[in-house]
């Protein structure tokens, strides 16, 4: 006689996961809020990190040639626009 055991995993709801991500993005970041002395959300910290990374790529690309520098410059402008739209301007 064959015995089987079924273990039911809880239903994973995609909407609840995205809602948890939205809650985390909108939560206040304690470290940057204390450094900048104003309320900064986790979303804004990610935007600042993105802009910093792109600026570093722009500096490195400027030593290579003009084409990568222009590409990184346009990417940096997009990152700055995202920062302004995110409430950092």
The domain limits of the chain are 40-89
Report pLDDT for 16: 72
Torsion of CA 47, 51, 54, 58, to 10 degrees: 170
Whole-prediction pTM value?
0.75
CA distances from 85 to 32, 43, 47, 78 (A): 19, 11, 10, 10
- CA dist 84 and 40 (Å) reads 13
pLDDT tens-digit profile, the chain (89 residues): 667 766 555 655 666 777 888 999 999 999 999 998 899 999 999 999 999 999 999 999 999 999 999 999 999 999 999 999 998 87
Report pLDDT for 54: 97
Report pLDDT for 53: 97
Report pLDDT for 76: 97
The beta strand positions in the chain, using DSSP E, are: none
């Amino acid at each position: 006689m064959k015995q089987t055991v079924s273990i039911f995993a809880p239903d994973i709801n995609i909407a609840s996961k995205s809602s948890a991500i939205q809650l985390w993005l909108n939560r206040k970041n304690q470290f940057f809020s204390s450094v900048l002395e104003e309320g900064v959300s986790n979303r804004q910290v990610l935007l600042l990190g993105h802009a910093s990374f792109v600026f570093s790529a722009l500096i490195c690309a400027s030593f290579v040639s003009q084409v990568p520098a222009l590409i990184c410059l346009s990417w940096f402008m997009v990152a700055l626009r995202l920062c302004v739209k995110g409430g950092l301007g």
